[in-house]
Amino acid sequence: MRRAAALLLTIATVAGVTTLTGPPTTAAPITIGRLHASFQPTDGKIYILVIGNDARVGNPTHSRADAIHIVGINTKTMKGGILNFPRDSWVNVPGYGSRKINEALYFGGPELLARTLQHMTGIELDYWTMVGFQDFVKIIRALGGVKIHLPSSVYDPGGSGARLKAGTQKLWAQQSLAYLRTRKSFGGGDVTRTTNHGRFLLALLRKLRGEIAHNPSSMLRWMTVTQRHARYDMSAQEMFRLAVVASQLKAKNISNVTVPVSVGSVGAASVVFINGSAGSIYRRFKQNASL
Amino acid sequence: MSTAAPISRLGWRLLPAVVAGAAMVIAASVAIQALRSHPGLVSVGTDPAPVAAVAGQPWEMTVFPVGTRGGLSKPQRARFKAQRTHVTKVVRKVFGVLTGSPGFEVTVKEHFSRDAALSLMRTKAGLPEDTTRVDIRRRKASIGIQGSPPRTAAARVKVRAIAEVGGREIAWSDRATLWMEKTKRGWVVIAFDLKRDRL
């Protein structure tokens, strides 16, 4: 039996060595497959502050922020996250004390809003981009609408003017704006609205990827539309590189998370207080740029 | 019964060692086979040898400005035309060396960003050394250049070719996207996506 076992071990070893050193069986003479290289920032993490302000017309200076999101991208894992902040969040605005977060934009523009969020989350923001109502409509019109799945119908004829059925559909510019402005027809009010903003950003990403798969040059059109209608603090080269990164991101790898809040009031103002559990979300987001 | 028992115990004692040894060998073999069947994953020499005879159909190139409303103004058109020449030259050179023309390493260093060049150099994207002939059946490029200012470009490239490698004829197709930007050293590919299929 000992001999049998030793023989078995020898056979296994010899067979293994033969397999390891033998010639390749089906190696293709020409390399077949997919090669890929994309732009890599130094630390592999990018954070962008996305702001929607409430300026109806003209210059958005001294407007308030209706939509506040930090978009994180991890270019090593190709995962990311959208962290949404309700506009009524009661926070410490550097230099102005405790206030609603949307007032930071009014007092100090996107830079102060970015500082407020950095102070609160510990996340260093690399860029910001901002659109107003009219800018947003022009962007969506230029892009030809956005296909999105609505989990429930949205009906707010007296407020935003939204009359949308549940299901997957294409929203045109004014419909998109109405959808993103709607809050009263949702049980969660502004918190649901801010989550919907994140959902809309993901729908935009799906559209971008779909168009690029068909025609890569469409990315340049998106850039031109953004440069024409949005305000931002990045160079054309940085925007191009970010767009290249975005084109490689799958929407299913991006989480859409709204900070946990509880409803309250300060004086006569209705506000929301960010829960202490948000701290772990910030830490995770800072570490991975995904949620 | 009494004499058979110790021998049987010894056999059972050796069996785990035999199984573990065989399992390790099999796992190593599978890993090596996986690398062989995907040679693009294996680091190889950086500069493939040029092929002696490369013949091919002329390029079918479409170059157009992107993101300009109502066409280009006269100065914009002049700038676009000037950059068009440079961008098409990069596309021709890159796909020239990928299909056997000489100067692989020089071209990659000249026309790729550092990261993109490293990605391409690490893979066996050129042709094998024993390639004796390449016949390019079709090469087509659709290139969009951002209209104003013309500093970024995206190219969709399709190439179909046949090569004689070690006495065997191999047909393949390349489908690629090149993302390019204008830098101080000219137009460079900052990112790419190349899919090479056997036909």
pLDDT at B43: 29
Compute the average pLDDT of residues A119-140: 95
DSSP run (H or E) holding A129: strand A127-131
Average pLDDT over residues A252-256: 97
Mutate to test the interface with A, among B18, B94, B148, B197 (most CBs of A within 10 A): B18
Q: Judge residue B62's burial from the number of C-beta atoms within 10 Å of its C-beta, 0-12 exposed, 13-18 middle, 19 or more buried.
A: exposed
C-alpha to C-alpha distance for B113 and B75, rounded to whole angstroms: 29
- In this complex, how many residue pairs, one in chain A and one in chain B, have their CB atoms less than 8 Å apart? 167
Query: Over the stretch A96-110, which tens digit does the pLDDT of each residue have?
Result: 999 999 999 999 999
Asked if A206 and A192 touch (Cβ cutoff 8 Å), the reply is no
Which chain B residues have a beta carbon less than 8 Å from that of A242? none
pTM: 0.80
Share of chain A above pLDDT 90, in %: 72
Which CATH number is B10-198 given?
3.10.450
Pairing of strands B131-146, B53-56: parallel
Query: Nearest-5° angle of CA A267, CA A271, CA A276?
Result: 115
Q: How far apart are CA B138 and CA B134, in angstroms?
A: 12
CA angle A23, A26, A30 (to 5 degrees): 105
- The Cα A48–Cα A93 span in angstroms is 19
Q: Residue A220: list chain B partners with CB under 8 A.
A: 66-67, 144-146, 152-154
Amino acid present at B28: A
Q: A80 to each of A202, A282, A286, how far by Cα in Å?
A: 11, 13, 11
> In chain A, which residues have their Cβ closer than 8 Å to the Cβ of B193?
34-36
Average pLDDT, chain B: 80
Structure tokens at A6: 């030793």
Backbone torsion region of residue B154, taken as left when φ is above 0, otherwise alpha when ψ lies between -120 and 50, otherwise beta: beta
- Per CB-CB distance under 8 Å, the chain B contacts of A26 are 36-37
pLDDT score at B148: 75
Question: Alpha-carbon torsion A42, B192, A212, A149, what sign?
Answer: negative
Report residue B25's pLDDT band, with 50, 70 and 90 as the boundaries: low
Nearest CA in chain B to A216: B154
- pLDDT of the residue at B18: 60
pLDDT digits (tens, 9 = 90+) for B51-64: 767 888 899 999 99
pLDDT in tens, A21-40: 433 334 456 666 767 777 66
d(CA B2, CA B24): 35
Q: How far is Cα B136 from Cα B173, in angstroms, rounded to an integer?
A: 10
B63 closest CA partner among B47, B79, B80: B80
Question: Can you tell me the mean pLDDT for A214-223?
Answer: 94
